[in-house]
């Protein structure tokens, strides 16, 4: 795979697909700039080569054309500070203004285009839309790992209109780090799967059972396993149509000699609220009217010991309702165990999405081996897609 490192961008206009789908608050301020910072080395390499940069991205999921809260113009001040230059902005991603600003771009300059998804053609993979975008640059760079699993106009279709096309440093690093788990993972190898639904993770779990020594399951999906095993789970989240699938995973793990660990206990609540009444119970005996919202203290210790003895760790998905501080302790505990293992020399890959947000918000981002910028993209890659 050719990357930006293999290419000289002198006097070239690089059209880069980045993933600047960052969270904004009510004042349109960036609350987590991980994805922007990840793209900086690719941008800086091109500028250092005396090239110019045209950035294209989506932000959120606008339904009916332009919306203020989804405008990429809100990223311009922060991006300008990060690059120490004034980033130009086109208030459309195609059309006369975009063409004019792109054609007038000088070496060392950066132009950010407006949100690609203001056009439904982007997600439909429309060839004419991709062709219009391609006219803005000389070289195509794909550095948007977070959307690499989508056959969208700017991520897949556009490449056919370029002779010169390379991957950015983010794309390269994501694939390198995923292979450190999938191909080269040192034993013992532990995967930690959290989140709400088995159905979201089933394909990757199936793949991982061929590679891991231990599979830790937490979060909402664990209650489907407990119900499948005959447990009383109260009002906890459950996928009734996946009970047989849960039993299949348990059986398959046993057949392959994989230690499948479910949380022994839960912090349960009498409503889905941070202020709900709480108690700690065994996961086979959650009373009616109560729901599991976090792994309990016993589970934290058991999981923590397995993680700390591991040499390779993959973590995707929180252990509870992490956005409620009273039910975030399990996820925090897992994060601390992953950091402790990494400090002892283990390799740790944090899957994107909620687990990446958890690790970054706790300030642990630089204490693990790699934090992926892609949630669904990493899972699909690990599924073998």
Reply yes or no on whether the pLDDT at 352 is more than 80. no
Q: What's the rounded Cα separation, in Å, for the pair 306 and 290?
A: 29
Average pLDDT of span 374-380 = 85
Give residue 331's pLDDT band: very low, low, confident or very high (50, 70, 90). very high
Give residue 75's pLDDT band: very low, low, confident or very high (50, 70, 90). very high
Q: Which residues lie below 8 Å from residue 366, measured CB to CB, with a gap of 6+? A: none
Reply yes or no on whether the pLDDT at 353 is more than 80. no
Q: Which residue among the candidates 234, 353, 374, 375 is catalytic per the annotation?
A: 353
Could you read off the pLDDT of 282-328 as tens digits, one per residue? 999 999 999 999 999 999 999 999 999 999 999 999 999 999 999 99
Helix axes 76-83, 34-48, angle to 10 degrees: 50
Q: How many helices (H) and strands (E) does the chain have?
A: 13, 17
Could you read off the pLDDT of 230-243 as tens digits, one per residue? 999 999 999 999 99
Q: Which residue among the candidates 12, 35, 201, 211 is catalytic per the annotation?
A: 35
Is the previous residue joined to 145 through a cis bond, with omega within 30 degrees of 0? no
Per-residue confidence (pLDDT) for residue 203, from 0 to 100: 86
Q: What's the rounded Cα separation, in Å, for the pair 252 and 257?
A: 9
Q: Is 317 a catalytic residue?
A: no
Reply yes or no on whether the pLDDT at 29 is more than 80. yes
Per-residue confidence (pLDDT) for residue 97, from 0 to 100: 96
Per-residue confidence (pLDDT) for residue 356, from 0 to 100: 84
Per-residue confidence (pLDDT) for residue 358, from 0 to 100: 84
Per-residue confidence (pLDDT) for residue 373, from 0 to 100: 85
How long, in residues, is the chain? 385
CB 266 within 8 A of CB 286: yes
Weakest-pLDDT range from 123-132, 144-153, 313-322, 374-383: 374-383
CB 303 within 8 A of CB 216: yes
Q: What's the rounded Cα separation, in Å, for the pair 86 and 89?
A: 10
Q: Give the SS3 label for residue 94.
A: coil
- Give buried/exposed letters for 336-370 (b at 16+ CB in 10 A, else e): bbbbebbeeebbbbbbbbbbbbbbbeeebbebbbb
Name the nearest CA neighbour of 126 among 155, 146, 149, 98. 155
Give residue 186's pLDDT band: very low, low, confident or very high (50, 70, 90). very high
Q: Which residue among the candidates 131, 197, 252, 264 is catalytic per the annotation?
A: 197
**Which contiguous run of DSSP H or E holds residue 315?**
strand 312-316
pTM of this structure: 0.88
CB 258 within 8 A of CB 250: no
> Between the CA of residue 33 and those of 110, 146, 206, 352, 372, what are the distances in Å?
18, 14, 33, 13, 13
Q: Is 353 a catalytic residue?
A: yes
Per-residue 3-state assignment (H helix, E strand, C coil) for 136-168: CCCEEEECCHHHCCCCCCCCCHHHHHCCCEEEC
Q: What is the mean pLDDT of the chain?
A: 95
Reply yes or no on whether the pLDDT at 16 is more than 80. yes
Q: Is 197 a catalytic residue?
A: yes
Which position has the higher pLDDT, 163 or 354?
Answer: 163
Reply yes or no on whether the pLDDT at 360 is more than 90. no
């Amino acid at each position: 795979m050719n990357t930006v490192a293999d290419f000289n961008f002198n006097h070239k206009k690089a059209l880069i697909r980045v993933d600047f789908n960052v969270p904004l608050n009510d004042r349109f301020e960036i609350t987590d700039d991980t994805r922007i910072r990840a793209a900086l080395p690719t941008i800086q390499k091109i500028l250092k080569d005396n090239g110019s940069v045209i950035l294209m991205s989506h932000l959120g999921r606008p339904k009916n054309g332009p919306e203020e809260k989804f405008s990429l113009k809100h990223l311009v001040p922060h991006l300008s500070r990060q690059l120490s230059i004034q980033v130009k902005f086109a208030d459309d991603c195609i059309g006369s203004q975009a063409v004019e600003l792109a054609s007038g771009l000088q070496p060392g300059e950066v132009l950010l285009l407006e949100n690609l998804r203001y056009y439904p053609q982007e997600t439909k993979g429309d060839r004419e839309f991709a062709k219009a975008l391609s006219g803005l640059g000389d070289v195509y760079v794909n550095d948007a790992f977070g959307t690499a699993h989508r056959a969208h106009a700017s991520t897949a279709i556009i490449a056919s209109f370029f002779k010169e096309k390379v991957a950015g440093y983010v794309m390269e690093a994501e694939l390198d780090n995923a292979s450190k788990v999938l191909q080269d993972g040192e034993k013992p190898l532990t995967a930690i799967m959290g989140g709400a639904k088995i159905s979201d993770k089933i394909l990757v779990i199936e793949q991982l059972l061929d590679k891991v020594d231990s599979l830790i399951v937490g979060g909402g999906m664990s209650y489907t396993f407990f119900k499948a095993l005959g447990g009383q789970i109260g009002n906890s989240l459950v996928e009734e149509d996946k009970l047989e699938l849960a039993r299949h995973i348990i059986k398959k793990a046993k057949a392959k000699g994989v230690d499948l660990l479910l949380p022994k206990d839960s912090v349960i609540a009498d409503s889905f609220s941070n202020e709900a009444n709480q108690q700690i119970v065994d996961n086979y005996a959650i009373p009616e009217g109560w729901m599991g919202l976090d792994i309990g203290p016993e589970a934290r210790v058991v999981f923590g010991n397995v993680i700390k003895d591991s040499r390779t760790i993959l973590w995707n998905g929180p252990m509870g309702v992490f956005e409620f501080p009273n039910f975030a302790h399990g996820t925090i505990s897992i994060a601390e165990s992953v950091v402790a293992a990494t400090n002892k020399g283990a390799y740790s890959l944090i899957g994107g999405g909620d687990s990446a947000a958890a690790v970054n918000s706790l300030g642990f981002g630089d204490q693990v081996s790699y934090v992926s910028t892609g949630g669904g993209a990493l899972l699909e890659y690990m599924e073998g897609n």
